[in-house]
Amino acid sequence: MSSFDAIESKMEAVGLSRAAIDAFRHCVEVLESKQSMMIPEDEISPADNIADWDTLVSESPAADAELLSQAVLIKLNGGLGTSMGLQKAKSLLEIKPGLTFLDLIVRQVISLGEKAGAPVRLLLMNSFSTSADTMAHLSRYAAEGFADASQVEMLQNRVPKLCVDTLAPVSFPSNPDLEWCPPGHGDIYPALLGSGWLDKLLAAGVKYAFVSNSDNLGAQMDTRFLSWFAKSGAPFVMEVTRRTEADKKGGHLAVRKSDSQPILREVAQCPDADVPEFQNIEKHRYFNTNNLWIRLDALRDFQQANGGVIPLPVIRNTKTADPRDASTPPVYQLETAMGAAIQSFPGACAVCVPRSRFFPVKTCSDLLLLRSDAIEIGADGLMSLAPECGGITPVVLLDSKTYKLVDSLDSLGIPSLKNVSKLVVKGPHNFAPGEPLSGEVMIG
């Protein structure tokens, strides 16, 4: 494909792997083909008959040391959290005094290994932006074996931004970094292959990977579910949970009518006319938590059979070369979602998990709740609701303009939320530390 030559040369020049280049070639071919990237409502059915996590877990024994030695916990750790005003790895955000996401991930891994009587493998998928900060922080865990990048780090790839008119890689000499963009978390598949980690893990006898976002503290490798997954024979399992009004813009699970294969549909893949149905949480009841279980040998076999590529749906975003300057050239940023691989594996399925396995921090509202007394974090790094919450997570809605950046929480203060069902704060306010609140509270 001669039109890809310039793109390929640009990617080779910065040392990107053949797997990364071939994966991006697939994305560009989809774009050039002008085939629809949309998933219309009339081509899908709502997902139904989803297995229940609690049932599967209750019926499975905990994984033994031998099985745990065949598993790896992979955390996506490439985000900077710039939307919250951070200029470092988001996983280094402090949640409780002296404790970051990364500290709690390490605590969870160490505790899990101690309970199982076998070390648990941790692999962080860092980006070029988060690698240095992350590894510097992990130096404090050298004695536990987490400070060696060759043992715990896999670097995310990057891909060129493409000129809208020509699909050539954009040139931006004043700031060459702006010529590149992240490829989306679907990059995990070419990253595993191109980095050599897939072969390395399989050679070490590792068959099962549990993948989740580093900002989701609810996602820990459950040894009972690992036991079920190993026995199930499923090549790929997606953890989904019931959608609420707060989730109606997130990607949902569906079934493709043409072959009854489960698929993931993101809002960017939904035609405008179908958006109301996309957001119908009673019809499309399950959304992707981005917690995935993957058979690594099945992944290797599929990639080998498809030229090293998982042919994921492509999401096209139209932006400007400098996202802060509307006068710069318009570009396409192509990305893929790792959960979309559910459509590629025959036998792939979804399991409905408790909401407690999905607790990401995307906004200051999420962070305030996590920092409050409504959330307890044990010595093992596990998160739980305070008993006073009665099993129901308080809803926190802070004014998105006033409390957009992490630093804004310093002036707000942290009240007691363990007896709160809902807290809404409109405009500036200041709580006394631990100020007791209860029921539904509206400020401003």
441: which strand partners? 423
pLDDT at res. 329: 93
CA atoms within 13 A on the CB side of 52: 4
**Could you list the active site residues?**
362
Q: How many CB atoms lie within 10 A of CB 337?
A: 21
Domains of the chain: 2-357 (3.90.550.10), 364-443 (2.160.10.10)
pLDDT at res. 115: 83
Q: How far apart are CA 185 and CA 290, in angstroms?
A: 10
pTM: 0.93
Q: How far apart are CA 410 and CA 88, in angstroms?
A: 19
φ, ψ at 316 (rounded to 5°): -105, 120
Q: How far apart are CA 442 and CA 346, in angstroms?
A: 49
On whether the CB atoms of residues 85 and 405 are closer than 8 A, the answer is: yes
Q: How many CB atoms lie within 10 A of CB 22?
A: 18
pLDDT by residue, tens only, the chain of 444 residues: 457 999 999 999 999 999 999 999 999 999 999 878 899 999 999 999 899 999 999 999 999 999 999 999 999 999 887 778 878 899 999 998 899 999 999 999 999 888 888 888 999 999 999 999 999 999 999 999 999 999 999 999 999 999 999 999 999 999 999 999 999 999 999 999 999 999 999 999 999 999 999 999 889 899 999 999 999 999 999 999 999 887 888 889 999 999 999 999 999 899 999 999 999 999 999 999 999 999 999 999 999 999 999 999 999 999 999 998 999 999 999 999 999 999 999 999 999 999 889 888 889 999 999 999 999 998 888 888 999 999 888 999 999 899 999 999 999 999 999 999 999 999 999 999 999 999 999 998
DSSP-derived 3-state class of residue 296: helix
Region for 308 from its dihedrals, namely left if φ exceeds 0, alpha if ψ lies in -120 to 50, beta otherwise: left
For strand 262-265 and strand 286-295, is the pairing parallel, antiparallel, or unpaired?
A: unpaired
Residue type, 212: S
φ, ψ at 274 (rounded to 5°): -100, 0
pLDDT at res. 289: 94
